[in-house]
Structure 1
Amino acid sequence: MAEGHEHVSEIKYEKPLWWAFGLTTTFLVVEVIGGLLTNSLALLSDAAHMGTDVIALAISLFAVRMSRKPP
């Protein structure tokens, strides 16, 4: 029964996580630059919120990588 058993989630969910991580990081950088250039507290506070999202996505990607290691 264990023969041929593979974790589908490794292949299925890692690529979208990388896309979300890349896009969120890009928008984070743009918001920080825009907030600093325009002295916008709204942009800077949203950038801080996106920073927490980037951290959460990084933890998720780390968990996906760790799940590939043998027991």
Structure 2
Amino acid sequence: MRVRDDMTFPSDEYERRIEQLRQRMQQRLLDAVVITDPENLMYLTDYQTTGYSFFQALVVPLESEPFMITRQM
């Protein structure tokens, strides 16, 4: 993960949240999850958005780096 200095929580908290998600994914035999709810995006990544006016998603693979899908700015 690229470490950011503008997050409202420490990077180790980010790692903890992603790891907890991955543990639940493993229990459910999921290879990846797609997060689209703005509140969940905020909780997992600290990415603040105006929300529901355009499609955006966080893809969290079980074993590789999470990545965002969003519109081009």
Between Structure 1 and Structure 2, which shows a larger proportion of helix residues?
Answer: 1
Pick the TM interval, shorter chain: 0.3 to 0.5
TM-score, normalising length: structure 1: 0.35
TM-score, normalising length: structure 2: 0.34
Bigger relative contact order (CA 8 A; separation at least 6): 1
**Larger-gyration structure (1/2):** 1
